[in-house]
Amino acid sequence: MREVEKTKEEWQKELTGQQCFVLFEKGTERPFSHPYNDNKEEGTYVCAACGTPLFSSDTKYDSGSGWPSFFQPISSGNVEEIVDRGHGMIRTEVVCRTCGGHLGHVFNDGPKPTGLRYCMNGAALKFDKA
């Protein structure tokens, strides 16, 4: 059970089609297509569905991948990592612990201090400017 559970119809009333596709159908936006990839403002990235704080702009960096990338979440308790065996690969999916929305994937090719790259879909996020 998730802290926030809604039907597909309820999410569709609150979110855009792209947000629903990414968050609840495990979709992926095209690289370099979301404005958050280039966002340099200070603030907090939260789940677009439920508002759970996920990443600080202090941990955002330009990975060159085309998606907003971070080297660590605000709290490991706010995200959940799940083995993803889809598309003929083995990856680690990252979901919002509160609502279960798909955020993206985490890889072991990031910068110090963690060595991680949380590669997130901009459509799965909302930005709260500091």
Residue 1 resides in a domain: no
Give the residue numbers annotated as catalytic, written as ranges. 119
**Measured distance CA(43)–CA(40) in Å, rounded:** 9
Domain count, the chain: 1
Residue-wise pLDDT tens digits, 68-81: 999 999 999 999 99
Residue-wise pLDDT tens digits, 45-100: 999 999 999 999 999 999 999 999 999 999 999 999 999 998 899 999 999 999 99
User: For residues 48 and 126, is the Cβ–Cβ distance under 8 A?
Assistant: yes
User: For residues 102 and 93, is the Cβ–Cβ distance under 8 A?
Assistant: yes
Using a cut of 0.85, tell me whether the model's pTM lies above it: yes
Residue 2 resides in a domain: no
Q: What is the 3-state secondary structure (H, E, C) of 41-92?
A: CCEEEEECCCCCEEEEHHHEECCCCCCCEECCCCCHHHEEEEEECHHHCCEE
Residue 65 resides in a domain: yes
Q: Which amino acid is at 74?
A: I
CATH number of the domain residue 73 falls in: 2.170.150.20
- Residue 20, annotated as binding a ligand: no
